[in-house]
Every structure is written in C-alpha cells, then in structure tokens.
Amino acid sequence: MLIHPGEDLNLSDFDPDNTFGKSQEDINGELPKLRSLMAEMQYKLYIENEKSLLVILQGMDTSGKDGVIRHVITAFNPVSCTVKSFKVPTPEELAHDFLWRVHEVVPRNGFVGVFNRSHYEDVVAVRVHHLISESTCFKRFNQIKHFEIMLTENKVRILKFFLHISKQEQKKRLADRLSDPEKRWKFNKEDIKKRKKWGEYMRAYADAISNCSVEQAPWHVIPANKKWFRNWAVAKIITDTLTQMKIKYPKTASDYKNIKI
C-alpha cells in the first residue's frame, strides 16, 4: 500500500495477511520474470550512469528484510549493487549528525543501493527506548524529509518499504529460529524484549511513515505475513519504478558506422 504525504496512519488498519487477491500459484510464475526485468534494467542504469536507485527496508525483527535481499535483491548484479546494514552507531558515527553515516553510503550514479534498516532507526528504536526526546524526534522527521528531497533532486530515486507482520507471526518465526539449527544464530534475546514494546514500536513506525512520506519518496506498507507475496510485491514495485525512471542507453557516436575492426 502506498502511503500518501500527510496521511494519518494506524498500522492496525493494515492486514499483514492481505495478498490483494493474488495466489501463490500466480506469484510463482511472475517473480522470476520480475527478477529478469530487474536485472535487465539495472544493467541499463549502470551503463547510463546518470541516476541511482535507493531501496530502504524497514520492519520489526523477522519481518523479512534479509529474505527480500535473498529472494529479490539478488536479481541485481553485485558489480553495481551495494547492500548496507545499519547497526548501533559507532563512537565515530555518534560524533556526527545522525544522517552523516547514511549520506556517505547513498548509491552513486548508475548504482542500486539497499539499506537493511536505515536512518529510520534514529526516529523509531531510539524513540521507543527513550534515547531522544519527543521534540528531537519530530525535528528529525523534518530533517529526514529535507534530506530525502535533496537526494531525489540529485537523481537518487528512493523506495521505502515497511514490511508489516503481525505479532503472532513474529512469535512463530522466532520459535522457528530457535528450533532450526541453521537459523538459530539469528536469534537474539533482545528480540524478546522488543516484543514487549510492540505497541510502542507500531506507533513509532506509524509516526515515522506518516511524517516522512513525501511525494518524491513515499512509503510503501507491504503485508509480509506471506513471504511469497512480500517478495513479489517488493519486486513489482522495484520493477515498475525502474521502468518509470526511463533509463536509456547512452547515445553512440555518429560516426560509429564508419569504424572498421
């Protein structure tokens, strides 16, 4: 669902199980085609070398950020695609403004950049855990809007995805991690503490999405309980956006026909 600028948002109004009439059989046939189109258009973006695409993935733990990267983003050639994960800020990063560490990894012309978490942690997690004041948080909303508008004015197309899962689905996925030796390494006791603040996180995300959805860089709320639908929806929006960017191959020299090898 596309969130329009200034739209009041209550995430409980969005059904994380919603697939908008799509079936898994439909998706199984469409996703490979979308991935192929993504790869083709990424190549043109790289050759054109005039603009870039930034994909921001946010969501609660187990919402599928890594899954989207594995099943969708890997369609892109790593030669011109970078993935950045944002962890707790380092002392060096804390010595600068909160957007400093973000700006330095924005994708250059011709590249696709993917943020696994992002600067939105600085208006969600820090707010929930009372590391900043409410007034500071709302100042940051405005700073984020101006920052993202500045990027779009410099030919960085921004896609922001909130992967929306239910609290019950998260419980199931956390239990799966504990029971599966291959996934157990991803389990973190902090995830349990965050579950106790689920309502606060939902309100903080709703405020961030509502206040920072601008025309140039709107938010998309993706129902993410069904992994197959989540992957398809993100791939479809990325493909549609790359198409809208009207990427073109560079013009060749007018005398190329006279060149003999």
pLDDT per position as a tens digit, 88-107: 999 999 999 999 999 999 99
Mean pLDDT score, 56-81: 97
Q: Determine the pLDDT at residue 36.
A: 97
Query: Is pLDDT of 258 > 90?
Result: no
Query: Is pLDDT of 6 > 80?
Result: no
Query: Is pLDDT of 194 > 70?
Result: yes
End-to-end Cα separation, the chain, in angstroms: 53
Give residue limits of the domains in the chain.
2-246
Of the listed ranges 16-30, 61-75, 117-131, 140-154, the one predicted with least confidence: 16-30
Mean pLDDT score, 46-74: 97
Q: What are phi and psi of 162, to 5 degrees?
A: -105, 115
Domain made up of 2-246: CATH architecture:
3-Layer(aba) Sandwich (3.40)
Q: How confident is the model at residue 147 (pLDDT cuts 50, 70, 90)?
A: very high
The alpha-helical segments, DSSP class H, found in 49-133 are 65-71, 91-94, 100-103, 125-128
Query: Is pLDDT of 244 > 70?
Result: yes
Q: Determine the pLDDT at residue 179.
A: 87
pLDDT digits (tens, 9 = 90+) for 196-231: 999 999 999 999 999 999 999 999 999 999 999 999
Q: Determine the pLDDT at residue 255.
A: 67
Q: How confident is the model at residue 183 (pLDDT cuts 50, 70, 90)?
A: confident
Contacts of 106 (CB under 8 A, 6+ apart): 52, 54, 113, 151, 156
pTM for the whole structure: 0.94
> Distance of alpha carbon 238 from its chain centroid, rounded?
10
Q: What is the mean pLDDT of the chain?
A: 93
